[in-house]
Structure 1
Amino acid sequence: MTTGTGTSGGAGRPLATEPITISFAGFNRAWAAWIGHRLNLRGYQVSFQRWDPPVTESLETSFADLVLAPGKVLLILSDWYFQLGPRTVPEWNTALRNVVPPHRARFAAVSVASGALPTATTALAPSELTGIGEREAERRVLLALGLPTDRLPARVNATPGPRYPLDTPEVWGAVPRRNTRFTGRETLLNEAYHYLSEAGEGAGVLTLNGMSGVGKTQLAAEYVYRFGSEYDVVWWISAENRGTYRRGLAELSTALGLRTGDEYGERLRAALDALRRGDPYAKWLIVVDGADEPEEVWDLLPTGPGHVLISSRNTDWSQHNSRLLDVPVYARDESVAFIRRRAPRLDEAEADRLAEALGDMPLVLDQAAGWLNDSDISIEQYIALLEEGGDTSVVKVSADFPAAFQTAWSILLNRLRDTVPESIDLLRLCTYFAPGLIPVWFLRDLPAKGVPEQLVGLLNDPLRWNRAVNQLRQYSVVRLESHEGATEDAQSGESLYLHRMVHQIVHSDISAEEGVGLADTVRRALALADPGRPTDTRNWPRYAEIVPHLKYADVLHSTDADVQRLVLNCLRYMYLSGEYDAGRTFGQRALETWREVLGAEHPRVWDVTHHYANVLRTLGEYGPTERIERPAVEFLRRTKGEEDLDHLRAAGGLAADLRGLGRFEEAKELSVWLADTYRELVGPEDSRYLSAQNNVAASLRLLGDYEGALAIDRRILEDRRRLLARRHPWTLFSEISYATDLRLLGRNEEACSNLEMSVRENQLVMGSDHPQTLRAEFGLAMGRYRQGQRQEAGIALASVVERCERVIGGRHPTTLLFLASLSSFLREHGDIDEARRTGERVDLSYRRTLGDAHPYTAGVRGNLALILRNLGEREQALEMSEEALVTMERAVGAWHPWSLGCAVNTAAIRNVLGDVESAERLTAKTAVQAAESLGRTHPLTLSARIAHAADLRALRKREAADKEESAALDDLAQTLGPQHVHTVSARSRQRPFWDFEPQTT
């Protein structure tokens, strides 16, 4: 029995002289907290005693100890109050009859029980609190205690406190049914509660950590039911993988009543944003169940004023702003209490022997005790079976589990086979889905043809199905998970929860021959559930539900066309939704397996090669991608001809590889040919032609032909808006490309105007952390920076970089692109040392992945040279800048904007080091080349002209310098405005510089 005391007399009311002790079972903590608060407001001193009598002490002695408490003792009677121990009804009646009458004035009682109470409780005359409102419940509590029932003043009554227990949280979703056999764990529950309630905003993240079968999920569920009344939102999310976790978050937006469209990303973003702001609810609890791979979901954990409770086997959560709370096996007294509640026919000594034999592991105790309670076998016989190894003819479980576990499972499954054989069939079928949540409703519409004989009746007969499910539930083998609006029929839209340990044990027993039919059944069910359009973001939740099961159903070894189509659609979904690491792993396995199963030249192999290459390319692995794309292009051209659509698709991928490798001219020539060919074959409005044109524009942009890229991107954007929809992902992609062209041409105001709307649309459709959304936000930040909005741009850049690193990693090409620009920003407006660290990090990454001769490597080394100049390391800066200039000119030509920018920077460092004549020659040449290739008013041309004027003045050619400077200043004022930061800077004769910005390929 544990004791806690509260002594305040709320809102300044005088403290009553007689204290009140509330005795309650841990399950009813919410009632105790609410009653205690209402009494506190009236000035009464309240203490709490959690009723948990030790099994070694007689019930009468434990109950009599309550009389030792000062003042009145208020008993909160419930089913759990009488079940703790456990004690029989006759024991309770005896204790009540012997203790209550002599001390009747000391006791008061209220009842929140759902079942019948022991008959002797009539001596307590408990007041019934269930099914009534808060005001009436308070009145009955006061009457039971013999206290005045006058109303509290409005100002006192308005004091915040615990929610009335019968008032559920405003939003409540996907929480498992309460385990009425939950036992013990009081210390863990209290520790979890105190940590979360005392955590500051943003720090309320707690991970229940422990091995499989130890009861982490049950502990999390009990926490929800015990403390959930203190929250306005309680939302349970399965996190077996990233996809199901994202789906759970997206579904929360609807429950919160947020105004969003149907787009998956929009709902996901809205939910996270609402939780972060605490609007409409600040008191929220998100339970993240089964998060065994922190790297898959940690970046999507909610932040804000609420709490996050995680269950996981993985201790790595300690590295992600979460405190770990270790969940061990049961203490022996907890095991004994649990077994006796699960199997009342066993006495204390028998329960102790069973707990010893099964190592106090909650999951196995639950199943073994449930079986024993329905069996006439003695505990001695059962223990003997465990010690001897038992009959393992039904199941040969994994060697990962102790022998006692293996035998316990053999006994249980033999029982299931003998009583309801369909339950074994269902259980084995479930192991060809992933462990955790199993969407058995996928099986609902599966045609009987091809289904193994023993499953046909099960799948087509609701009565047999429900009998099998109920039998598995009875022995705690599975748990039935309800979805919104689902009925009790497991085939009507519910999922079964199969524990990972149970999954492994059962699966290891299935023969290879039997497994073929079971796997094929699940594969066909998954293929039937395929929505068929991975490009539609509204289908992403369904794909997120399907993807975890691909591995377990062994879809890659199927020769069924529908299953193979499912594989390709899922791989494309991973690419489009930003699940790049998962896509790389799955794509590699698919390519290797299909080459082996189908043959290296099978059409499906070329399909998977294309989708896998898309994922690799997105990750910046251009070399490996070219090595798998080029053979595909050559084979398809040789066997199908140049105008075959499969060959054209592969050639488009190869052109993208060439862009990534810095071979821009080759890429452009190939892309132009592809666009022309597509136009002839499929017409100018086909999506393949528009994509080919998009790639031509990308090549022109990389070659420095920004006007040419802009003209094409404008036409593509208009066509996609007309042919698709404004919010289609490809339309939004075109908006980013078009705005990028505008910005590179110096038309920053137009670029920002276009991107402001595009950022919002991408956030709604793709999600706030999708790479495409981040690119839109980056473009807007850079445009504002070029407009002189430095503070706003700096905040936005830092945010984009942080989220990008968190979502897709620090080495991803998009992350490196953002980091390169952040480093340049920090050089001028932030921490110069941090700018150097960031610049060196990007430089090292590019040299490792792209090589020293790549233009991106040259560009970021040029940026790094400017940092060294500012740090005073001028000789090293000049050497690095000269090297960058030579490398860049070799890579893209002397007239490319990147080469011209490197020349502007190199001339500046030459000037600083006193080599003014060579600086002037370089800026003179650069100004002429920039004017011819970009136009006389382009920002880079103006920078070169201002720099040339500075070099002329350093050579004492003042007349020429003034003339050059005056003309450049006039063009600056006319182009950017007289008060623009660049105009003001040039007018004050600050030497201009140029920042290299890598482009997406």
Structure 2
Amino acid sequence: MSTTSGSPTTGGTTLRPFKAPSKSKSDWLAPAILTAKTITAAAECAPFPYIKGVSGTVLILLETVVTVKKNREDLEELCNSATEIITILHDQILAHGDTAAIKFKGLCGELESYLKAVILAIRNLQDQSKGFRGRVKEFLKASNLTDKIAGYQTQIQGLMAVVETNFKVDKMYNIITAPSFAVVNTVQNINNCPPPSRIFQGRQAILDKMHQFFDTESGNQHIYVLYGLGGAGKTQIALKFIEESRFLHFLNQNELLRCLLVDASKVETIDTGLKGIAVSKSAGDSAQDALMWLQSNHNNWLLFFDNADDPKINLNDFLPKCNHGNVIITSRNPDLRNYGAHTLVSDMDEADATTLLLRRANKECSEENLKLATEIVKELYYLPLAIIQAGAFISKSEDLEGYLALYHSNRARLLSEKAAQSHDDYAQTVFTTWQISFNQLSHLAATLLQLCSFLHYTGISEDMFSTASKYDFSLSWPPREELQEPLEFLSHFVEPTGEWNSLKFLNVTNEIKAYSLISFDAKAKLFSIHPLVHAWSRSTLLDEEPLQSCMSSILGMCIEKIPENEMELASVRLISHVGLLEYANPDRVADFRRAFSQIYYYTGKFKDAQALAELILERSKFLLGDDHADTLSAMGNLASTYFDLGESLKAKELEVLVLEKRTKILGEDHPDTLLAMGSLASTYYMLGEFQKAKELELLALEKHTKVLGEDHPRTLLVMGNLASIYSDLGEFQKAQKLDVLVLEKHTKILGEDHPDTLFTLSNLAITYYTLGEFQKAKEIEVLVLEKRTKVLGMDHPNTLRAMANLAVTHYNLGDLNKALGLEVEVLQKRRQLLGDKHPDTILAMEDLVKTYQKLGKPEEMEELEQLIEDTKKSL
């Protein structure tokens, strides 16, 4: 190798210039390849595997250049420089062991990135359409590619300088005196971008999006924001992107340092980081000097603001005011999206999450391990930091199979435990990283987040709180003094006039959203919380009961204010919240059992509704007496629950009593009396007493029309019930006329997707079916099933009823396989929801038996017939 006068001794400081070797342009490549092959072979035996990777890359580069067959000086110098520096690195590591290897590992990684980029650029030529010689000529003339080659050479020269000067190995103490190849003093060191985690996995869609963005020539400053929950992996994605592309997107011929890292967690750390840039560039010693340098420097620099989480910091004050340069920002604050292109960083996909867990756990990707790992990452909701922590624990315990059982009983402890060995510099655990954000919240915002931890983690709405604030205490219980805590909390969002102030609520939720501890779906107007954040927020409480009771009361107050004709749709939205609160601590929610019972009833969870309804009736009788209006309402609600559970005789017994007492106490024209009349008529109908049902329903319709009006929802319900009675009595024309009338009114008043509208539409289909017009019935039933599935869900009793009706129509049209598929699903879901003894379940069995018989499936038919017989015997 060529040297200056005064060749360096071992550990000396003289630099070797990067000149082309003094040999003819025709013979420089063969010796270089021989040298690279020798180094590659030696690397096979070296105890530092990354040398093998880098030296192998050099060899590929040289062999690729052979195919170009154009000995231009730029490629020649690049290849010889690469070979020379690999030789030095290899010798230094072998000579000085692990101590030197710690620092040289980073050098090898950097060099490998440079060389891979060049290899890619050269190979891309072979994919172009022009002749080979023409492509090479065009490649060498292209200014941007030539600049890249020059830039790579500059980088290698810088690395070489570091090897000769900054990485002196002290033989006595065997230590490296200079800490980093990219800096010459402590101030400059603070701006280094570390490499990503050694076990970085996945996130390719985000990385591809970033590459595409920074490749675009916009004429403006490129700013990209990665935002999302703490622990989602924002910083690691940014570092991986920088590692992949800093020498493609952010090339700068004159400056060794490409990426400028600034800790943006505080104003003080931002100021320190920018000062470091100014000092390292000899541009001054202040943050303003750094910004001025960036604004005046038109080379393609990259400024990386990491952890810009504090919503009180205006990051715009620290952005260079110019139309050039590149900025990457990571933040928990979604408001920073306004600065430029952005991506929400959330959970990993399952395949990458599973691979990451096994890599961190040091477990092989066997079929059994993959299955176990999949279950674990599901439980961790695919959150990267949680997966890393789980992997670290498994690596230590070496028990992949037993992890989930430990996690279920020790979740808070496992998600708060920091591993002794890590693959990156992140100092926080899953729970501690969120605690840092939680500590920044105001008391009101923290309380709201904690209250929401007692709800389901999805489907949380402002409307739940605003509706609760309108609770008017017209009911007999609970008294106002028992609701002081929820009333005090809600008062923060209520004006002196009693009006709900959405702006105040928005300000509080925005405060929580600023740390990504809660998310908002603007289209659905619903909030959600990451499941692990949801669990963690409960762990922030020293005493759960007061807040649990408060949230339970708020939810109960909300339900009590929902109008009757909106209850079914509201129940679908609220059932997940009620289920958590009602079962969490029943003694704390007794005051709102009536409200919760309604939600269970309207979502078809009749057994749960029955259990609460019986307790409510017992309590009401004890506190208020047998004839009190609330006691009679509780009795009527329990009767309705018995009715839907198929216990029509129990329902009839209670409904007769309710109608008698309401007629006596309130009079026969009172709305509550009319409601009791309609309920009893429906029970008569279910029991097959059609004439009694018809007489009572005609009277109910007359009085409903007189008292409530012909368009009132209750009047229309009675009218629809009367149409069903006419149909069963064979009076089809009357039935059809009423069905059409009710359908028109429901559609006009409630809309075509309202449950009452769909109920009427279903009745019309039944009428067509009874008349033998199966095709008309089918068209309506397909529509009803589609809408009920969308509005109520697949498991709602009314959805299953629509499915069963459609199956029967398919059967009569001869579409037996379609009928079979629907009937099997209906039976399965009814057995789960209602039990084997419910009349609707038995009816589903009987329908399926007929289909099996028609399809010639005697074994299935006989098995089901035996089940029907055994079930009926047990009734």
TM-score, normalised on structure 1? 0.43
TM-score, normalised on structure 2? 0.49
Specify the structure having the higher radius of gyration (Cα). Answer: 2
